[in-house]
Amino acid sequence: YESPAESVPGQPESAPPFLNAVALLRTPLAPRALLWHLLRIEARLGRRRQERTTGRTLDLDLLAAGDAVIHEPALQLPHPRLSGRAFVVRPLLELAPGWRLPGGGELLADAPGASAPGCVRRTGMVRRAGAVGGAPDDNWPPSWPSGAR
C-alpha cells in the first residue's frame, strides 16, 4: 500500500510517498520484548527517533499482540492510532477481515480507516508464508489475531 507523505516541518512538499505493509506473525516473545527487537531493527537500518513528525527511513510499529491491552508510556496496545490509519487498516483487513480490536471489540472493518477515501493505493500482492524463509503452508493464518480468516 502506498500513502502520501504527511507534511512535516523541514520536509519538502514533494516528499516521496510512504510504502506501507502489515504482517501477522507468531512469536514466543512478550509484547515488550518484541517492541525492543523492532526498535533495534529500526536503529540498525538508520532510524533515529526524534520528534514524531520527522521524516524517517523506517517505522516499525507493534499494532497489537493477541488480546493484550497495555497502557504504558513506552507501549500501548492496541496501537492508539491503529483504527484511524487507512494505511494500516486496509492491508490488515486483507489478512484478517474478521478481526476485532482488543479491549473494545470494534470490528476492524468498521474502523474509520477502513473507509477513508482515496488516501491509500494498493501497490502489490498479499503474500502468505509459512515459517520464516519457508513456503506458504496449510497452517495459515496464525492463531493470532482471533477472527482472522
Active-site residues, by number, are 47, 56, 59, 61
CA dist., res. 24 & res. 149, Å (int): 12
**C-alpha cell belonging to residue 92:** 490488515
CA atoms within 13 A on the CB side of 31: 18
Query: In sequence order, what E strands does the chain have?
Result: 2-3, 18-19, 70-71, 76-77
Among candidate residues 43, 112, 114, 31, the one with its CA nearest the CA of residue 78: 31
